[in-house]
Structure 1
Amino acid sequence: MVEASKDIDAKVVHNLISCRELAQRSSCDFALSVWSLWQDCPLISLLNAKDFTGLLHQICSNSDGVSLEYFFAISWSIWYNRNQIVHNERGLSPLQVWEMAKRVVDDFQEANLLHLSSTQPSNSGWAAPPPGFFKINVDGASSLDGQGVSGVGVIIRDANGGVLAALCKALPMHYSAEWTELFAMEQGVLLAQEMGVQQAIFESDASAVVQAISQDLCGGESGHLIQGIQNAKLRFLSCSFRHVKRDSNRAAHELAQYAKCKNVSCVWKGVSPPFLDSLFHSGIG
């Protein structure tokens, strides 16, 4: 019984770290390709691991809470992808598996924050812009398993909370989380210009996207999108980009989810999307 347990433990390490049968058209190791995308990955510990229990003890002893979250999220994502292939489903690329793991960690951390905030008074939620300004909240939605289409959501509100316009748009295919968030920001800029907004505050809960736009990071595959947003912002009298927590971006989040789940595209001008009424009445939209 003990020997069987050790064999299972060793096989778990093989599937989560070696996993060479999933390489698919590539001589590099699939699982290690995923782990290498984690900047703080304890790669030496992974390569020297003999069994999962020993590896887990070492990770717990030498890592902080965030590292543990990433370790378990990456392990689960690799295992999930392996099962998809075993059952004749389409597998994901190493980058897509890594993005799945990141989204799992983000959702876990967000759930913890919501749990903590529910036990104490909070000023969280959407905040109105100054008089004369419009606030444009944007969000993107992509499935964890790479299936279906991605969606984006945009909502523009004035200093009184009135809805100037809103948009939900299903994208033609599934995109990574970063690309989807960039498309959402692009749609927000375009809708604001169409509605004649002159003084704009754009908000997103995707910190990497806000940072890339604020710092004009136009290199890489998505550089042309960032450059396009940079060029478009020159048409506003005032324009800024801010990162907010997800609970301050709920309306845009719901719009993006609506587009993704129903595969639809809609625009509302001068009215609020009916399915957001309960959110607005709660005062946290």
Structure 2
Amino acid sequence: MCPVCGQEVESIYHALFKCVGAKNVWELWEECPMVIGTENMDFSNLALKMLECGTPRDMELLIVVAWAIWCSRNLRVFEMVCQGADQVWNHAISMLFDFREAVKFCGLGPLACEVRWKKPQVGVFKINTDGATEVDGRWSSIGVVIRDSRGEVAATLCRVLPGCFSVDETEALAIEARIILVRELDLHQVIVELDSLLVVHQILAKDFNGGLGHIVHGISGFLEGFHS
């Protein structure tokens, strides 16, 4: 029996498409070109049907979301870690977004790889943050370093988060904690550097929707007190 829903004998197709947990994830694909999970077929046939109905980008999303669902299933079965549909979906979207941006970056040629850390202007502090999250359910963690215009370290911080979060949730929580630290240090002119382009775009657009919405909303409120 399926270890997630306990309603049917588990198969690859059931785990990825027919299980109630998987269905809740697929329902978040609002512009899906076909109905998923209504017919019993192997993955290769479903993929071919997706190519007939949709685009190569739809095919990419199908594969990445299916992978995220399978990872979530394994977390629940082997680590007793339960993820909601929004968390699984956001994880898949984040991975696909970062992959596409990386492909664009690689297409710029060797010079694009020669990116080095640059000192901020006099009177400005630069914040570099990073987050780490594990697929095995272990708690996520964040780290930060703040440097001044001479490149000297002004403050550092590392922290283990109270739970296992997605990559982008971890990055967003990292920047939120770092901004709070900067306010406590009374630093008003700052530059924030992040690894996740999805988080950066959502903050700049003040997009408060989706799984990151409440975190981005808090970050936007904190940023209003800074000059840069």
Q: Please state which band the TM-score falls in when normalised by the shorter chain.
A: 0.7 to 0.9
RMSD: 3.4
Residue deviations 1:180-203, cap 9 Å, x none?
333212222122233342311122
Alignment of 1:38 with 2:29, yes or no, is yes
Partner in structure 2 of residue 162 of structure 1 = 152
1:129 to 98, 102, 120: 120
Report the equivalent of 1:173.
163
Could you tell me whether the CA contact under 8 Å between 2:34 and 2:50 is conserved in 1? no
Deviations 1:142-183 (A, max 9, x none): 2234x1212122222233433222221111222344443332
Corresponding position of 2:61: 70
SS in 2 for 1:168: strand
Structure with more contact order per residue of length (Cα contacts < 8 Å, sep ≥ 6): 1
Select 1:185's aligned residue among 150, 158, 175: 175
Q: 1:244-270 CA deviation, whole Å, 9 max, x = no partner?
A: xxxxxxxxxxxxxxxxxxxxxxxxxxx
Radius of gyration: which is bigger?
1
For 2:12, the equivalent position in structure 1 comes to: 12
C-alpha spacing 1:232/1:83, structure 2 compared with 1 (3 Å): closer
TM-score (normalizing by structure 1): 0.60
1:66-114 per-position Cα deviation (integer Å, ceiling 9, x unaligned): 4333211222232344455555844433233324433543564466567
Give the letter for the 1:137 counterpart. N
Unaligned runs of 5+ in 2: 1-10
Residue correspondences, number: 217
In structure 2, C-alpha distance between the alignment counterparts of 1:219 and 1:87, rounded to whole Å: 31
The answer on whether the counterparts of 1:149 and 1:170 sit within 8 Å (CA) in structure 2 is yes
If the length of structure 2 is used for normalisation, what is the TM-score? Answer: 0.72
Map 1:151-230 → 2, pairs under 5 A = 151-217=141-207, 225-230=215-220
Letter in 2 for 1:92: Q
Contact 1:103 1:144 in 2 (8 A): no
SS of residue paired to 2:187: coil
Query: What is the alpha-carbon distance in structure 1 between the residues aligned to residue 117 and residue 38 of structure 2?
Result: 46
Matched residue, 1:258: none
CA contact (8 A) 1:142 1:177 kept: yes
Change (3 A) 1:96 1:212: closer
Q: CA deviation at 1:224?
A: 5.9
Contact 2:98–2:196, Cα closer than 8 Å, also in 1: no
Where 2:157 maps in the other structure, the secondary structure is strand
Structure 1: gaps of 5 or more residues: 1-10, 20-28, 240-285
- Matches of 1:192 and 1:88, distance apart in 2: 36
